[in-house]
Structure 1
Amino acid sequence: MRKSISVAFFSTVSTLMVLGIVLMGFSEWVLFKGYFAKDRYETLDQVVGVAERTAQYLVQEAALPEGDELEALSTKLEIIGESAEAYLFFTDNDGNVMLASNPDMLNDAVVDIDFRTSANAAPDPDGGERYHLFSDLDGTLTEKSYIAVMRLVDSQSYPSGWLFLCSSGEQLAEFKQQFWSNFLLSSCVMLLCASVLTKVLMHKLTDPLQKVTDAAQRFGGGDLSVRVEGVEGEGEVADLARTFNTMAENIQMNDNSRGQFMGNIAHELRTPMTTIKGFIDGILDGTIPPEMQNHYLQLVSEETGRLARLIQNMLDLSKLESGEYQVNARMFNIWETLTGVALSAEQRINDGMIDIDGLTMDEKVLVYADPDLIHQVAYNLLDNAIKFTPAGGTIRFSVEKLGPEVEISIWNSGQGISPEALPYVFQRFYKEDRSRGLHARGAGLGLNICKVLVNLSGGQIRVESQQGEWCKFVFTLPTQPPNPGEMKRLPDESGRPGAVEDPASMKPVN
C-alpha cells in the first residue's frame, strides 16, 4: 500500500509523541510516588520519638494499665496519631498487639514480625532497628499503609517489643487516580493540538511538493511547457521548484533547438537530393539530351559533394560536442597556419581576382592550441571570406598579441552583414543571404564549427561588420598552457555557453 509523505510523517510524529508522553507519565508517577512516600515516612519518623516513650512504658510493665490510666493512655495515643494523620500500635517480641490507637484498623491481634524481608532499613539515632515499608502486614491491617517500625529495647538493651506507626495508603490511591486522570486529559489535549499543528505544517510542506509532483507527471507525459507555479520563498522545497522550472526550461529549449535542427537538416538534405534526382531522372527518361548529360552529371557530382560536406560537418560537430575528440594542444606559430591555409586556397583566390593583404612569413607569434583545430577554423573563415568577397576585393590577415592572448582577424571587403543578423551568424544553419552577397552556398555550419573549435581551444570568437563595406571575424587564442584541469565550455545550439567539457577526457576521432 502506497503511503504518502504526510501520512508517513504524521504516523512517525504521532508515534514519537505517544511514546514520549507515556515515558514522561511513568517517570513523573515514579517521581511523585517516591516523593509522597518520603514525605509520609519523614512525618512518621518525627512522631516515633514521642510514641516510643509510651511504648517503652508498656513493654517494661509487661501488662496493660486498667481503668482511668488505660483511658488516659489511649487518649494520648489517639492524640499522637491524629497529629501525624496516622494510627499506631505496640506489640511484644512475639508480635502480640498490646495497645492500639485505633483498633478498628487491625484485622488481627497478632503481627507477623517477619516483615523485615520486605522492608527498607532506616538509621535510628538511638542505635535501635527501624524499618519503612508499604504493606498491610499480611492482612493484619485493613488496608495498605505507609508503616514506620521501630524495635524497642529495655533498660538492659534487650529487645522488648515493636512500635508500629501507620499512615493510610488511601491518599496514594486517590492521588494516583487524580494524577492519571489529569495526565490522560492533558495528553489528549496535547496530542490534539499537536495533530492540528502537524496537519497544518504538513499541508504547507506537501502542497508545494504535490505541485512539483503534478508538474513532473505532466512533464513526463510530454507537456514540456508545464511549470511549477505558486512556490516561492526560501527552503529546500522552493529550491526544488525553481530547479525543476530551470530544468524544464532548458529541456524545452533543447527540444525546440533539436526540432529546428532536424528541420534544417531535412531542408539541407532535401535540396541537393531533389536536384540530383531531377537531373538523374532527366538523363534516364531522355529529357536531357546526350550532349548535355556530362554537364548535368557534373552538377550532380557537385551536389553529391555538397551532401558529403554537410554530413561531414555534422559528424564533426557531433564528435566535438560529445567529447569524442582529444585536443592535442602545443605551442606553434600561428602565422604558419594562416599562410598554409591561404596557399591551399590560392587557386580559388586567383579565380575570384581577390587581393591578399597582411600575410607574412617573417613574424613569429606563438599560441597554445591544437594546430589541426585552428587550421580548420582559419580554413572555414577564409572559405567564408572568399565566398562573399567580390571580384577585385581584398582579404586581409592580422595577428596582434594582447597580454596572455593573441588576437587573429580575417577581414574581407564586400557587402558585409546586417546589424540584425550579427547576433545569429554563429548559430547552426543560419544563413542571411541578402547580407552576404549573391552567393548562397553552404549549409550554415562552418561558422558554428569555428565557434566550437575556438571555444574548445580556450579562446573566443566574434564578428564585426559595416554593412555594404566590410566584414571581419576575430578570434583569440592563449599564449600559455591553461591551469591543470581547466574546463572548456562548448556552445549550445544557439551559440551560448553550454555543457562543460574536460579536454583531457576526450577520445580521439577515428
Structure 2
Amino acid sequence: MKMFYQQFLAFFLMITITLLTLGMTFLGLSRSMFYQNTWDRLQDYAYAVKTQTMDIRQGKDSKVVVDKKKLVITEQMLSGRHIKISIYTEPDKLIFPDSKKATTKISSQCWSKLKRGQSVRAKTSDSKGFFKDSNRQLTNIYEPYLDIKGNLMAVVSVGTVMNGIEENLGEIKQNLLYAFFTAVVLGTIVSFVLTHYFTNRITKIQRATRQVANGDFDVKIDTYHHDELDDLAEDFNLMTQSLKESQVEIERQEQRRHELMANAAHEMRTPLTTINGLLEGMAYGALPEEDQEQCINLMRKETTRLIRLVNENLDYEKSRSGELVLAKTNFDATSAIKDVVSQLHKMAEDVGDRFIVKLPPLLNVYADKDRFIQIITNIGKNAVQFTRDGTITISGEKHGNDTMISIADTGIGMTDEEISNMWERYYKADPSRKVAKYGESGIGMAIVHQLLQLHHAKVCVDSAPGKGTTFTLLFPGEAIASDGSDQPQDDGSVVVDRCD
C-alpha cells in the first residue's frame, strides 16, 4: 500500500475514532445529567410530600396519617409533568392513592436500604397503567419516612415516565449523528489535504534522490525549517553538496593521474630516445670515430637523468608511505647551503642568474642533513628554472630554538592557483620554461612538501606574477621536533601555502 493511502487511512481513522469517542462520552454525560436532574426534582417533590401531607399519630400503635386531600391536589398539579405519587407502608402495601396491595412491589434489597434511612432510585415498568399509556418505563425515587426513633413508618414514592428523557436523548443522538457525518466529511477532506501535503514533500525528496542516483548532484530541495521533513531535506542538501565536492575532487584526481602518467612517460621517453638513437648510430657505424666518446658521455648523462628520475619517484613514495626514516642531527646549515649554491652555480650562470647568500657564519639547524640539502637543492633549482637574468637570495637566522631559511628569487612568480597546485607531483607552473638539460621533472616540489612534513617544518610562500617568489622555511628545534613522529601529515596541516 502506498504511503498516500496509508497516511490517509491513518488520518481518517484517527479523526473518526476521536469523533466517536467524544460523541459517546457526550451522550453518556447527557444521559447521566438528565437522570440526575430528574431524580433531584423527584426528591424535592418527595420531601415536600413528607413535610406537608404526612404526620405520625402517637399512641399504643403509632401509625402514619396522610392528608389525602392535599396529596390529590398536589398530584393533580403535577399531572402535567407526568408525576405519580405513592405511599408505601410495606413493600407491597399502599396507603395512597388507595389502601390496597401495590401493583409495583419494592424489592427486599431496596426496602433494607430504606429502613437504614437511605433514599433509593430505581427504574420500573408502568405495566398496570398508572398513566394513560401503559407499558412505559418509569423512573422512581423512594424516600423513607422515619419516626423520631429512626423506625421506618412509610415510604414516599415519586415517579415519572422516562419518555421525555429518552425523547431528549433521542434528539441529542440525532444531532450528534448529523454532526458526526458532517465531521467525517470534513475530516476526510482534511485528511486528504494533509496526506497530499506530506506525501508531496516526500515525493520531492524521492525524485531528488533518483536524480542524485543518476549522477545529478546539482539538485536542491527547498527547506523552511518547520519540521523533521525539512531537517531531512536540509541533510539531503548537505549530502548532495558533499557528493558534488567529492565528484569534483575525484575528477581532479583522475585528471592529475592522467597528467602524472603522461608526464612520467614523457620524462622517461626523452632520455631513452636519445640513448636509443645514439646506440643505433654506433651499431650501424653512422657516427664518426672521433664523436663516439662524446656520444658515450651523452648516454651516460641521460642514463644518470633516468636514474635520478626513478630515485626521485622512489623518495616521494617512501616519504608518503612513511618508509623514509630521517636521521636528524644538529649541523651547520650555512656550510650545507653554500655547498648547494656551489653545485647550482653553473646552472644559474647559464641563464644569467646569480646567487646571493646572506647567512651568519654559523647557523645551527636540527634536521636530516641529506634531506635538508635535498630540500634546499630542489627549491634552488626551481628558482633558477623560473628566473632569467635575475638574483636568487638565500638568507637565514635563528628564531628561538627554530631555524628560519628564506629563498627569494626575482623570477616570473606564481598565481594563487599555481601556489596551491605546486606541491602536486609532476605539476609545472610554466611548462614552456622547463630547462630540460638539468632534468627538472616537476616532482621536485612534491618531494620538498613531503620532506618538510617529515621534519614537522613549516613553509610559507609569498609570490605574485612578475614579482618573483619567496619560500620561507621554519625548522623546529630538537626538543619540539623530537615530540612528533616521522610520519608525513597528508592533510597538509604542517605546510602553509601563503605567508601572512
TM above 0.5, one fold? yes
Shift of 1:302: 2.3
Closer, same or farther in 2 for the Cα pair 1:209/1:401, shift >3 Å?
Answer: farther
Residue 395 (structure 2) pairs with residue 398 (structure 1) = yes
Question: What is the distance in 1 between the residues matched to 2:311 and 2:469?
Answer: 28
Residue 107 (structure 2) pairs with residue 113 (structure 1) = yes
* 1:38-437 map, 5 Å: 38-53=36-51, 56=54, 73-80=71-78, 82=80, 86-97=83-94, 99=96, 109-114=103-108, 116=110, 128-133=117-122, 135-136=123-124, 142-153=135-146, 157-170=150-163, 171-172=165-166, 173-174=169-170, 177-178=173-174, 180-182=176-178, 184-185=180-181, 187-189=183-185, 191-203=187-199, 205-218=201-214, 223=215, 225-229=216-220, 231-234=222-225, 235-275=230-270, 278=273, 288-289=283-284, 291=292, 292=295, 295-296=298-299, 298-310=301-313, 312-313=315-316, 316-317=319-320, 319=321, 336-337=332-333, 339-340=335-336, 342-343=338-339, 346-349=342-345, 355-363=355-363, 377-388=375-386, 394-399=391-396, 408-413=405-410, 415-417=411-413, 423=419, 426=422, 428=424, 429-431=426-428, 432-435=430-433
Contact 1:417 1:436 survives alignment (8 Å): no
Deviations 1:77-131 (A, max 9, x none): 1423545x54333333123455469xxxxxx8132423539x9x89x9xx93212
Question: What is the distance in 2 between the residues matched to 1:286 and 1:375?
Answer: 39
Question: What is the distance in 2 between the residues matched to 1:116 and 1:31?
Answer: 26
Shift of 1:425: 5.5
TM-score by length of 2: 0.69
SS at 2:208 equivalent:
helix
Question: What is the distance in 2 between the residues matched to 1:421 and 1:153?
Answer: 111
Contact 2:461 2:471 survives alignment (8 Å): yes
In structure 2, the residue matched to 1:500 is none
Question: One-letter code of the match for 1:195?
Answer: S
Question: What is the distance in 1 between the residues matched to 2:387 and 2:148?
Answer: 139
Q: Which runs of 5+ in 2 are unaligned?
A: 129-133, 286-291
Contact 1:427 1:448 survives alignment (8 Å): yes
Shift of 1:355: 3.6
Shift of 1:409: 1.9
TM-score by length of 1: 0.68
| Comparing 434-443 and 301-310, the one that deviates more | 434-443
Question: What is the distance in 2 between the residues matched to 1:304 and 1:406?
Answer: 33
Deviations 1:300-346 (A, max 9, x none): 452243144235425645x4xxxx69999x9x98x945653553574
Question: What is the distance in 2 between the residues matched to 1:143 and 1:113?
Answer: 20
Contact 1:136 1:144 survives alignment (8 Å): yes
Closer, same or farther in 2 for the Cα pair 1:11/1:463, shift >3 Å?
Answer: farther
Closer, same or farther in 2 for the Cα pair 1:263/1:137, shift >3 Å?
Answer: same
Question: One-letter code of the match for 1:265?
Answer: L
Question: What is the distance in 2 between the residues matched to 1:100 and 1:408?
Answer: 128
SS at 1:246 equivalent:
helix
RMSD between aligned residues: 5.1
Q: Which runs of 5+ in 1 are unaligned?
A: 102-107, 498-510
In structure 2, the residue matched to 1:506 is none
